[in-house]
Amino acid sequence: MGRRKREPMSEGKKNIIGMLLKEYDIRSARDIEDALKDLLGGTIQEMLEAELDEHLGYSSYERSDNSNYRNGKKTKKIRGNLGETEIEVPQDRDGTFEPKVVKKRQKDISGIEQKIISLYAKGMTTRQISDTIEDIYGFEVSDGMVSDITDRLLPQIEDWQKRPLGEVYLIVFIDAVHFSVRENGQIKKLAAYVILAVSLTGHKEVLSIHIGENESAKYWLGVLNELKNRGVKDVLVICADGLSGMKEAVNTAFPQTELQRCNVHQVRNTLKYVGAKNKKEFSNDLKTIYHAPSEDAALEQLERVTEKWEKDYPNAMKSWYKNWDVISPIFKFSADVRKVIYTTIAIESLNSGYRRLNKQRSVFPSDTALLKVLYLATHEIAKKWTIPLRNWGIVLGELEIMYLDRLS
């Protein structure tokens, strides 16, 4: 597609440019910016005066019996793409004048506030945001201003956390990402628990985000009951790491739901006991367990792997026996369904986005600041979730047969 041809300049525009060159003695690109900035302020000033004329019903040069009248002007600084501009906002005696061109308490006319929120979503600190805005627009924004702007998200976040949900989700992933947060002068490691669901259409959806320090059956029961209170009636499979109290909470809140231990985390935790020289071989042996065609075959491989490595790493395989009841549900499914449940494909794009936040800033000033960033990052990432998971038709068909009474 060729470049759009520039339209010839009209005589009117040429006259305006000629007057600008003469009026402002323009000699450089910077002079042009200064002239436009001055004109912007003057134009807004004239528009405000015209708005007040319309509000009062008469101009400043006319007489009127109206009890409401002009009552001076109030100086106000506004921020635009050309930097800061000072204007004089006309006032009325009754205080009923509501300007439209620049609203009361509005200081940004350029989309800078949206830019700040966008930078905040990337995990930038308030100082980094201030420096970036100053580089682009030529003025500083304080830490307090950044906080004030992003705090306007809090009611939006609360509404999002309370929004109604679907009645049935086929798979729900519960995963934790850890962040450093400052609290009462001390730095603590807090977990952000992300609840990601796969809907009947195969689309991913983050149901909620919870920031906490400790896990327990009571804590997780509260989280799951919150999902029920928002409309969720059934979940076929919940896939989670070995979160403390999760098994008891799932059995209470969703007694029909299969709890599946995340195999990625299970393998990762196992390899912590294994020396570097044997990790690759040990990892390949573990694949023979969770890639087994049936539970009986998996148990045979479990015995073989344990026998092979028990002498060198006596503690490595203990968790497999301890957690077998939440590892084994996977074996009833086909390879297509297993890929959805035990691989990290569904949640990896989300986690990689969250990990980038940790690279941007090592410590968050509060758990509220962390929640704001996670909310913004989640929505940016979710914009790409426009198509169902791979082979979703096959996956759904199998689940409808296996859970006929719950999906009919």
Which of the residue ranges 95-104, 191-200, 325-334 would you say has the lowest mean pLDDT?
Answer: 95-104
Structure-token match 């804590």, residue found: 219
Same domain, 201 and 342: yes
Mean pLDDT confidence for 313-322: 95
Same domain, 67 and 190: no
The CA–CA distances, whole Å, from 362 to 16, 140, 179, 185, 370 equal 52, 23, 8, 15, 11
Question: Where a domain ends, among 80, 102, 124?
Answer: 102
Per-residue pLDDT tens over the stretch 115-161: 777 778 777 777 777 777 777 666 666 777 677 778 878 889 999 99
Same domain, 287 and 212: yes
Same domain, 320 and 245: yes
Per-residue pLDDT tens over the stretch 10-57: 776 666 677 667 776 777 777 777 776 676 667 677 777 877 888 888
Same domain, 43 and 175: no
Residue 123 lies in a domain: no
Per DSSP, the three-state class of 290 is: helix
Same domain, 316 and 198: yes
Which of the residue ranges 1-15, 298-312, 380-394 would you say has the lowest mean pLDDT?
Answer: 1-15
Same domain, 207 and 67: no
Helix locations, 291-365, DSSP H: 295-309, 318-322, 324-327, 335-342, 345-360
The range of the structural domain enclosing residue 395 comes to 166-407
Binned at pLDDT 50, 70 and 90, residue 1 comes out as very low
Same domain, 251 and 349: yes
Residue 146 lies in a domain: no
Residue 142 lies in a domain: no
For residue 2, pLDDT over 60 is answered with no
Per DSSP, the three-state class of 116 is: helix
Same domain, 92 and 171: no
Residue 330 lies in a domain: yes
Mean pLDDT confidence for 239-247: 86
Phi-psi region of 273 (alpha: psi -120 to 50; beta: other; left: phi over 0): alpha
Q: How many domains does the chain have?
A: 2
Query: By the 8 A CB rule, do 169 and 198 touch?
Result: yes
Same domain, 89 and 177: no
pLDDT value, residue 81: 63
Same domain, 87 and 234: no
Same domain, 93 and 214: no
Question: Where a domain ends, among 46, 68, 102?
Answer: 102
